[in-house]
Structure 1
Amino acid sequence: MTQPDGIRSEGDPASEAQNLLRNGIWAETLVAPEGVRERVRLVVADGRIAAVEEGVAPQEGDRRLRLVVPGFVNAHSHAFHRVLRGRTHDDGGDFWRWREAMYRAAAELTPESYGDLASAVFREMVEAGWTAVGEFHYVHHRPDGRPYDPPHAMELALAAAAREVGIRLVLLDTCYLTADVDGRALEPRQRRFGDGDADGWLARRQALRSAIGDDPLVTIGAAIHSVRAVPLPAIARIAAALPPDVPLHVHVAEQPRETADFLARHGETPVAALDRLGVLGPRTTLVHGTHLSPEDVARIGGAGATVALCPTTEADLGDGIGPARALADAGARIALGSDGQSVIDPLLEMRGLEAGERLASGRRGRFTPRELLAAATEHGATSLGLPPTRFRVGDPADLVELDPDSPRTRGAVPAQLVLTATASDVRTTVVAGREVHRA
C-alpha cells in the first residue's frame, strides 16, 4: 500500500509512525476544549489515548510536538468537486450555472479515476489537518444507471483511497431518486445517482455495509440528498428504516429557489416537513441551512440537530450567509465542511464562519475561538457518529500540530491561533496514533 508523501513504511525501523504506537506523544502546548495546557504527554495504545500526563518532561522515544489541537473533522465533502477548482470563475452566473459544470464532471467519473482523484483529495485533506471526512456520496452507478459489476465499485474506490492516505472516512451513502420537488424522473445526467426507490437504496446500502466489512477507518453513514431529490414518503421510509445510531445528513436551504419551490408545492418549508416526518434529531445533520426562517431555526435547535456549514464553498458559489449564531443560540451544533473543495483548509473554514457573522451583524467575536475549534472538531465528529477527541483517556488519538512561530502565527496567544493559522501551518497530522503527514 502506498504511503503518504514523507512517511516511511511501517517496516522501516526508523519510522516515526511506529514510535507513535510504541511510545508517547509529548506536546509543549495543548489546546484542549477545556483550555490550554502545557507540557502534556499522551500515551497511545490501539489508536486511542491510554493515559494523559500533565506538566511532565518528554521521555526518550516520544514524538515531540509544539502546539497541538484535536484533529479536524470534515463534516461535509464532495471529493469529485475538486476537479472544478479554478475552472468555473470566468462565466459569472450562480449556483445553478455552476451545477451544470458539476454534472459534466460527474458524468466523466469511473471507479479508477474516482479512486485516483479521491486519493489526491484525501491526501490534501490530511496535509491540511483534516483527520476525518464525511463523504456525501451519490455517484453510485454507471452513467446509464446500470450497477457496476462487481457492485459498489465507486464506493469501494473511495474506501481504498481513504485507507491508502490514512484518513477516517464516514461514507455518507446518499439516496437520490427524483429530478426536482415535483417528483419528475431523473434526467439522463442524473441516472447514475439513483436506486429506483427508497427500498432499492436501503437494500444497496445494506449490501455496501457488508462489502466494506469491519474497518477501523471506514464506516457507512446515510444521507438524503435533498427534499428536491427524495420525495417525502421516501424520506419517511428511510428515516424509519435506518437504525437510530446511523448518522443521517441532508442538504437543506442552500438556495432560496429550492425552498420557494418546495413551499409552493407542499405549503411548508423543507425543515418543517423534515420535522413533521420525525427526521430532525440529534443524529441529523442539515447541510448549509443558509436560507432559514426563524421558525426553521427554532425547530432545528429544539431538535438538537447539527448544521454543517461550508463557508468557503458558500462564498465560492454565492450562496449567502447562514444564521449560524442564531442556530447555535437555539441549541443546534455547528459543524464545518470543505464541500466543493474550492479550498481545503479547516482553519479557513473556522475563520469564514466567524467572518460571515461579523459581516452580517457588524459585530466582532460572534463565535469565541473555543467555539470555532469545537465546530471544526467535536461537533464534526458528533455529526459523523464518531467519538470526538478531547484529549481524555479513551479518546481517539487524532491530533494536529500547528506551527506557533510562522509568519502568520507568531505572536498569537495559543487559544486564538485558530484565527491566525492556515493549512500552511500544519506540521503534523496523526490519525489513530499513526503519523499520516509531516511537513
Structure 2
Amino acid sequence: MVNTGTPTNDPLPRGALNLNGFSFFNAVCFQITLGSTLVLYAKSLGASATWLGVLAGITPLLNLFQIPAAHWIPRFGYKRFVLAGWGARSVLIFLIAALPLLTALPDPARLWILTALIFGFSLLRGIAAGAWLPWITELIPETVRGRFLSRDQAFQHTGSLLALLLAGWMLGPAPGPVRFAAAFLLSACAAVASLTFLARSPDVETQEALRRSAQSVPWKAILRHPPFARLLIHNLLFVFAMGGLGVFTVAWQKAYAGFPEDRILLLSAAGFLAAMLALLPAGRAADRFGSKPLLRIGLGTFVAVAAGWFLLASRLVAPAAAMVAALNFLGGIAGALYQLGNTRLMLASMPPMGRNHFFALFTVLTSLALAATPVAWGAAIDALRTFHSQAAVDWNAYSLYFGAVTLLTLASLALTRILIEKGPIPTPSGPDTRFVAGLKRLWRLWQR
C-alpha cells in the first residue's frame, strides 16, 4: 500500500542542515576524485576501457567491508565511525593530487599508483559508509524523509555541478599535469571542509537504538524478508543496466565524438543542474504519493536517455554538443527521481531489529554488482573495438552497448511491479484535494 496523502509539515531534526553541508562538500570531493576528472586523467595515462571499468568498480566493490564493519559500529557510535573513515580517506586525496606532478615516472607506473590510491580511498570509504544510512535512518523521522532526502540530494547535486564547472575551467581544452593536480587539490580541500560539517552534525544519543540496529540477524532471514528481497532484485537489475553508463558516455565523447576535456565536463554539468530543478518538488511528492511513482518516472526517463546515446553511437544522429547536453539534462532528472525514490523505499524496507546488517548486506550485494558491471561492459567494449557493421544502423562496440542498456533499463522499469511499499494514507485536505485525487486515479490506472 502506498503512502498517498498530504505531506507532514513537521520540522526537520535540529542539526540536519549540517548533514546537508557535509553532502555538498563531499559531492565536490567525490565528483572530481571518482568522477569524470578521474576518467579523463586515466585516459591521459593510456587507460583502456577495461581499466576504466576497474577504476569505476573499485569503490562499489570495497563496500564489501560494510559487513564486518557493522559489528564495530556500536562500539564507536555512528558519528565517530563515519568521521574517522572520512578523515583518513581525505589524506589520500592529497596524495592523488601530487601524482600528476611526478612526471619523471612513466605513464603506466602512474596509472598503477593512481589505481592503488583509489583502492585505498575506496577501502576507507567502504568501511566508514556502513554507519551512514543507519545513522540517517535513526535521525530523520519517516514522515519527513522525502523532504530531507530531496534537500540533501539538492545539496549533493549543487556540489557536483560546482565541481564540474570548476574542474572544467581548471583543466581547459588540453590539460597537462599541473591542471590535473589543481583539480584533485580542489577535491582534497573540499574533503577537509566536509569534515567540519560532519563534526557539527548530531549523533544518535540512545544506546538502545545502537544496540537494536546492531542486533545480529541470520543472512538467510534477511534475504527472506519480502520488502528487502524484492527491492534487492530490482536494484541488481538496475545496476547491471546502468552501472557503467557514466564512465562509457565520457569515454565515447572523448574517443568517438572527439570532444575536448573541458567541453565534456561542462556538458556533464547539465545533468546536475537538471537534478537540482527536479528535486525542488520531488521531496514533498515522495512523502505524498510514495516512492514507486518516482522510481517509474525516473526509469522511464532513463530508457529515453539510453536510447538517445544509442542514436548517437549508431550515427543515426550526429554527435552534436546540444544533443549530449540534452541527454545529460534528462539523465540528471532521471537520476534524481530514481535515487530519491529508491533511497526512501530502502530506508522504509529495513526493520529496526538488525538494521545495520540489513543495510550492510543490501549495500554489499548491490555494490558487488556495481563493481562487476563496468568491468564486464568495459571488457566487452574492448573485445568488440574492431567490430563494425554498416547498414541502416552503424553497429559498433558502443552502439551495441547502449542498445543493451536501453533494453535492460526497460526491463528494470517493468520489474517495479514487484516492489513492496507500505505506509499510512493520510486524508488529503486543503485547496489541492481535487488535484491529489486526480493523481491518485492516474496512479491506480498505472498499477493495472
One fold, TM greater than 0.5?
no
Bigger relative CO (Cα 8 Å, ≥ 6 apart): 2
If each structure's helix is expressed as a fraction of its own residues, which one has the higher value? 2
Structure with the higher strand share, 1 or 2: 1
TM class by shorter chain equals: under 0.3
